[in-house]
């Protein structure tokens, strides 16, 4: 099953992606995580990406294309994957479509986690992540059991630089301008599904499981 996860920054894509990936046993591929790993390893790509990320801007398309192609060609993606944070622009969506077309393949679903902009602001600024294992939390809605400490690996959780209030408005504007058009892009291809992302995390996940189980029924790679 090949899935693209859509939604504004802060819609809960990362949290749901971890559960979806486990439940359906497909790799969770987050371009944001790949960039952050490059930043922490001090690579050339990381240094370039950081400048854009810290400013709330998208990393230029050209830097994402080879990166995603390499990743999707790896062995673990053979039977499917969950893309989180890619595509972010119509250029990236076209690239992905063309890459799949060359293999006589296509996406099975673009799943939108729908949350209004006002709710997003509250969420993003309360978000904390574990820099070690990538788990994500929210100070109000999903706090770690022990203050500031990751439940999974015990590392201290942090606020991403791009989650600070100053950058959030900018990221939401960028989303509206560059990423939101992907909703109609995938709707036109009849693979768009949407879930209400304003409810409790487990309720959203239940809806997602229902939607994706339907999609899986029609997925030829599972036969």
The residues of the shown chain that bind ligand AMP, judged by CB under 6 A, are 9, 30-32, 35, 52-53, 57-59, 64, 85-86, 88, 92, 162, 171
Nearer to ligand AMP, 28 or 193 (CB): 28
Does the annotation mark 47 as catalytic?
no
Residue nearest to ligand AMP (CB): 32
Q: What distance in Å separates the CA atoms of residue 114 and residue 141, rounded to the nearest whole number?
A: 17
Q: Cβ of residue 28: shortest distance to ligand AMP, in angstroms?
A: 12
CB atoms within 10 A of CB 196: 11
Least Å from the CB of residue 10 to ligand AMP: 8
Taking the least distance from each CB to ligand AMP, the nearer of 52 and 199 is 52
Q: State whether residue 84 is helix, strand or coil.
A: strand
Minimum CB distance to ligand AMP, residue 61 (Å): 7
Q: Is the CB of 45 or the CB of 216 nearer to ligand AMP?
A: 45
Closest approach, Cβ 65 to ligand AMP, in A, equals 9
With beta carbons less than 8 A apart as the criterion, state whether 205 and 16 touch.
yes
From 13, 36, 128, 193, active-site residue: 13
Nearer to ligand AMP, 171 or 193 (CB): 171
* Interior/surface letters 15-44, b for 16+ CB within 10 angstroms, e for the rest: bbbbbbbeebebbbbbbbbbbbebbeeeee
Q: Where are the alpha helices (DSSP H) in the chain?
A: 13-24, 31-41, 44-54, 61-72, 90-102, 117-125, 165-174, 181-188, 201-217
Does the annotation count 128 as an active-site position?
A: no
Catalytic residue among 36, 50, 123, 127: 127
Active site residue 127: yes
Longest dimension (CA), the chain: 49
Active site residues: 13, 88, 127, 160, 171
């Amino acid at each position: 099953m090949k899935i693209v996860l859509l939604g504004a920054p802060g819609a809960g894509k990362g949290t749901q992606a971890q559960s979806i990936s486990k439940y359906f046993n497909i790799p969770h591929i987050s371009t944001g995580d790949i960039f952050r790993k490059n930043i922490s390893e001090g690579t050339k790509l990381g240094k370039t990406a950081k400048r854009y990320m810290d400013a709330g801007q998208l990393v230029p398309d050209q830097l994402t294309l080879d990166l995603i192609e390499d990743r999707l060609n790896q062995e673990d993606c053979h039977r499917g994957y969950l893309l989180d944070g890619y595509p972010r622009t119509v250029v990236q969506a076209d690239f992905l479509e063309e890459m799949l077309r060359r293999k006589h393949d296509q996406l099975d679903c673009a799943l939108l986690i729908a949350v209004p902009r006002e709710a997003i602001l509250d969420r993003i600024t309360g978000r904390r992540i574990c820099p070690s294992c990538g788990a994500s939390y929210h100070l109000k809605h999903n706090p770690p059991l022990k203050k500031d400490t990751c439940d999974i690996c015990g590392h201290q959780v942090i606020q991403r630089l791009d989650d600070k209030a100053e950058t959030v408005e900018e990221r939401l504007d960028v989303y509206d301008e560059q990423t939101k058009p992907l909703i109609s892009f995938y709707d036109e291809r009849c693979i768009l599904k949407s879930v209400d992302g304003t409810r409790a995390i487990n309720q959203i996940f239940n809806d997602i499981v229902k939607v994706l189980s339907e999609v899986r029924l029609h997925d030829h790679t599972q036969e």
